[in-house]
Chains A and B, each alone.
Chain A
Amino acid sequence: MSTASDQSANTEIIAADGEEHHGVSDKQYIVIALILAALTAIEVSTYYVDFGPLFMPTLFVLMAVKFVVVVSYFMHLKFDNKLFSYLFYTGLILALTVYVGALSTFKFFLQKG
């Protein structure tokens, strides 16, 4: 019979020195935060530098990357049980589907400007 602590032991990696949880150390968290800060700086630069036709794709890709990095590493979804991922991404995909569908009925994506 497994207990809650046994279950968490399956999904968490705890090093002997107690530094690592969910397979990520504190130093790695800092590196991830610096990467996120750099991505934010690139996002802000699109306000000052003309990216031409790449403007919108760049912003959307950067937004998606930042979102996934925070969810995967800071929220530990990458290392936790898959059921948590299903619960969260089901809500997210449902929201995207419903609202993209709703905006389409208003012909939102056909509007110019």
Chain B
Amino acid sequence: MVAVIRRSWHPLADTAIAQGHDSGHGAHVSSTGLSNNKLAMWMFLGSECLLFGGLISTYMLYKGRVNSGPQPDQIFDIPFTSVSSFVLLMSSLTMVLAVSAAQRKDDRNTTLWLTITALLGSTFVGGQVYEFTAFYREGLGFTTSLFGSSFYTLTGFHGVHVSVGIIMLMALVGMISRNRIPGDRGETVEMVGLYWHFVDIVWIVIFTLVYLIPS
């Protein structure tokens, strides 16, 4: 009955079912012939644009609303944040080199580049923690002003995304070293890579709109 319904619903359904069985050892594919995992990841990243778009818009709206506490241009340390941005940008390079190594089935270089990416990501998060601490000491708490609330929410959400990415990277290194990745290893590394690069492009936007453009 299910097969009949599927057949009448879409002419490619038979192909999709057959492909699903054929590629049982590797990535599952949709009726388009594309990887389900990859489709889901791109859809997730598209939806993440809406999340960060909302947070960035809120910040843009509230960055000038400072009734008490320091103004943005009084506390931002552009040289320090520039170095953090450069570190995150370079982590995108090491991530893409890890993906490239994984597609060549070069486990040694894959784990090496993944570890370096995680270290660069940790450096970025460490810098953010330092920055938050410095801002707090200068009088900018989460509830000090609308600027403070929207700034900490936006950059905090981004920091959490980077932290989740680091956990994913380290989990991937552990799984590769124990040979516990089912299916296509190259695609698995690529999925984590897509997430990591997305975190990087969000920071490209935040760095310009939040730090470089004054209120």
Contacts and interface: CB of A to CB of B under 8 A. Distances in A.
A91 B49 contact: yes
B139 interface: no
Contacts of B197: 70-71, 74-75
Contacts of A3: 19, 22-23, 29
A52 interface: no
B204 A88 contact: no
Contact of B19 (A4, A70, A88, A108): A4
B122 interface: no
Given A1-B15, A62-B208, A95 B92 contact: no
B57 interface: yes
A3 B213 CA distance: 49
Contacts of A60: 208
Contacts of B45: 87-88, 91
B96 A29 contact: yes
B199 to A, nearest CB: 11
Interface residues of B, number: 63
Contacts of A88: 42, 45-46, 49
B29 A4 contact: yes
Interface in A1-37: 1-5, 7-8, 12, 14, 18-19, 21, 26, 29-30, 32-33, 36-37
A100 to B, nearest CB: 8
Contact of B213 (A21, A59, A90): A59
Classify the secondary structure of B's interface with A: helix
10 closest pairs, A vs B, by CB? A91-B46, A95-B53, A33-B93, A99-B57, A63-B208, A91-B49, A87-B42, A95-B49, A7-B33, A4-B23
Interface of A: 1-5, 7-8, 12, 14, 18-19, 21, 26, 29-30, 32-33, 36-37, 40, 43-44, 46-47, 56, 59-60, 62-63, 66-67, 70-71, 73-76, 80-81, 83-84, 87-92, 94-96, 98-99, 102-103, 106, 108, 111, 113
29 contacts: A1-B15, A1-B22, A3-B22, A4-B19, A4-B26, A4-B28, A4-B184, A21-B104, A26-B100, A29-B93, A29-B96, A40-B86, A59-B208, A59-B213, A70-B200, A74-B92, A74-B93, A74-B197, A75-B193, A75-B197, A83-B34, A83-B39, A87-B42, A87-B46, A91-B45, A92-B49, A95-B54, A98-B50, A102-B57
Interface of B: 15, 18-19, 22-23, 26-29, 32-35, 38-39, 42-43, 45-50, 52-54, 56-57, 60-61, 64, 78-79, 82, 85-86, 89-90, 92-93, 95-97, 99-100, 103-104, 184, 190, 193-194, 197-198, 200-201, 204-205, 207-209, 212-213, 215
